[in-house]
């Protein structure tokens, strides 16, 4: 059995950042894990405790953790507690936490686009019972949403659907980045370090490799563009999917127009961002994404699909290139324009820091916690 705690999870990162700027709240991260045979715990240097609890899948195919539900004792419950829950992760467990500790305060956070049972009611379904399932889940979700004192979300897509469920306070909240690490540095030095010719146009993508990210579609389009460029792909997926992309990219490989770089740590990523001329991210659905935030902080022009908080911010500031997530003809035409020399407006670094620096994200969350406990 293998059980581990990833310090780069949003819950760990945001809690650590909150602890850096305020000692008013203690933070614990609770995580159900189907592999755990007991409670596993790790305490970070600044006092954040991360606990992993044994979990099971119930008859409704929901992940639950009876041990987690019974973990707090009477002395713990005399304190003021805020339960910060994630949606859609472990939604069955979220309901049970609310049922068990309903007299305490709750915050619910969306980590991706707002996608609720209501969305499913109007989809074409081959199975008529599926619509009944979505309808039942819709009314159940409406009930539990309103136990929350605050709901946070990363982007405006489907916000009107959320308001059908929830009448309380809303706040836009995203992942954050370390803008002291991700920043502009000398391009020529970075290219020399990465063995990239200085005269080439470099397009960079940093992404997990799966169907959602549409890298295969991007490679297919780049195969059909008869201009000089180098496409650098940083990221990893399953061996099968990586092989699929590699096979699709053979025409680019034969012309030395693509490099598969695999996984890279943040210290290396800074060099890749600063070596590139354009950052591209063409996912079907996103919350941020973090890679676009990091690229923005390094001063890169952005090409992205119309999903996530970063696409919204680019549109608001008339910056970057924002394309339809399935408008592949538009992808190709905009890429050709860029490769032929059309300039792309870069988002101002002060705007990037204001919206995505970890300190600013943590301050927003601490403000939410204080408002829940003490009022306006």
Residue 76 CB contacts under 8 Å (≥ 6 apart), including other chains: none
Whether residue 118 has pLDDT greater than 90: no
Q: What integer best gives the mean pLDDT of the chain? A: 93
364: nearest Cα among 98, 144, 107: 107
The helix/strand/coil state of 224 is coil
State how far the alpha carbon of 341 is from the alpha carbons of 65, 112, 196, 227, 368, in Å: 56, 34, 20, 11, 45
Residue 318 · residue 345 · CB < 8 Å: yes
Q: How does pLDDT run across 303-327, given as a tens digit for each residue?
A: 999 999 999 999 999 999 999 999 9
Residue 240 CB contacts under 8 Å (≥ 6 apart), including other chains: none
Q: How does pLDDT run across 335-344, given as a tens digit for each residue?
A: 999 999 999 9
Q: How does pLDDT run across 138-188, given as a tens digit for each residue?
A: 888 888 998 999 999 999 998 998 998 899 999 999 999 999 999 999 999
The model carries a pTM of 0.92
Whether residue 124 has pLDDT greater than 90: no
Quick check: do 10-176+357-374 and 187-356 share a fold? yes
- Out of 19-23, 89-93, 128-132, 223-227, the most confident range is 223-227
Question: Span 253-275, mean pLDDT?
Answer: 96
CATH superfamily of 187-356: Glycogen Phosphorylase B; (3.40.50.2000)
Question: Span 11-26, mean pLDDT?
Answer: 93
Please give the DSSP secondary-structure letter assigned to residue 342: -
Whether residue 206 has pLDDT greater than 50: yes
Question: Span 203-209, mean pLDDT?
Answer: 97
CA distance 328 to 295: 23
Domains of the chain, by residue range, sit at 10-176+357-374, 187-356
Given the candidates 3.40.50.300, 3.40.50.2000, 3.40.640.10, 3.40.50.150, the CATH classification of the domain at 10-176+357-374 is: 3.40.50.2000
Element (H, E) at 128: helix 128-145
Whether residue 1 has pLDDT greater than 60: no
Tokens, residue 166: 């929830």
Whether residue 2 has pLDDT greater than 70: no
CA distance 297 to 312: 16
Asked which of 33-42, 95-104, 120-129, 235-244 is least confident by mean pLDDT, the reply is 120-129
């Amino acid at each position: 059995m293998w059980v581990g705690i990833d310090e780069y999870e949003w819950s760990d990162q945001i809690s650590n950042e909150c602890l850096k700027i305020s000692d008013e709240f203690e933070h614990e991260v609770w995580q159900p894990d189907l592999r755990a045979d007991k409670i596993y715990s790790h305490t970070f240097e600044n006092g954040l405790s991360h606990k992993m609890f044994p979990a099971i899948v119930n008859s409704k195919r929901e992940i639950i953790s009876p041990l987690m539900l019974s973990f707090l004792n009477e002395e713990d419950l005399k304190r003021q507690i805020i339960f910060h829950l994630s949606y859609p992760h472990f939604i069955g467990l979220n309901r049970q936490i609310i049922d068990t500790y309903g007299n305490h305060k709750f915050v619910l956070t969306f980590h991706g686009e707002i996608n609720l049972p209501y969305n499913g009611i109007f989809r074409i379904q081959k199975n008529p019972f599926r619509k009944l399932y979505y309808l039942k889940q819709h009314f159940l979700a409406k009930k539990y949403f309103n136990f929350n004192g605050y709901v946070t979300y990363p982007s405006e897509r489907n916000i009107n659907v959320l308001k059908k469920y929830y009448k309380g306070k809303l706040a836009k909240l995203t992942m954050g980045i370390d803008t002291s690490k991700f920043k502009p540095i000398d391009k020529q030095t970075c290219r020399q370090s990465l063995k990239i010719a200085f005269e080439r146009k470099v397009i960079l993508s940093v992404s997990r490799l799966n169907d959602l990210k549409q890298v295969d579609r991007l490679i297919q389009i780049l195969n059909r563009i008869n201009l000089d460029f180098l496409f650098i792909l940083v990221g990893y997926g399953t061996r099968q999917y990586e092989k699929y992309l590699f096979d699709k990219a053979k025409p680019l490989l034969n012309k030395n127009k693509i490099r598969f770089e695999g996984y890279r740590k943040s210290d290396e990523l800074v060099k890749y961002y600063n070596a590139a001329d354009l950052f591209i991210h063409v996912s079907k659905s996103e919350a941020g994404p973090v890679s676009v935030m990091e690229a923005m902080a390094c001063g890169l022009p952005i090409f992205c699909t119309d999903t996530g908080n970063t696409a919204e911010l680019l549109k608001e500031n008339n910056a970057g290139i924002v394309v339809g997530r399935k408008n592949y003809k538009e992808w190709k035409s905009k890429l050709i324009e860029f490769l032929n020399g059309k300039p792309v407006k870069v988002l101002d670094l002060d705007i990037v820091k204001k919206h995505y620096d970890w300190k600013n994200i943590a301050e927003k969350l601490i403000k939410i916690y204080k408002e829940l406990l003490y009022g306006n």
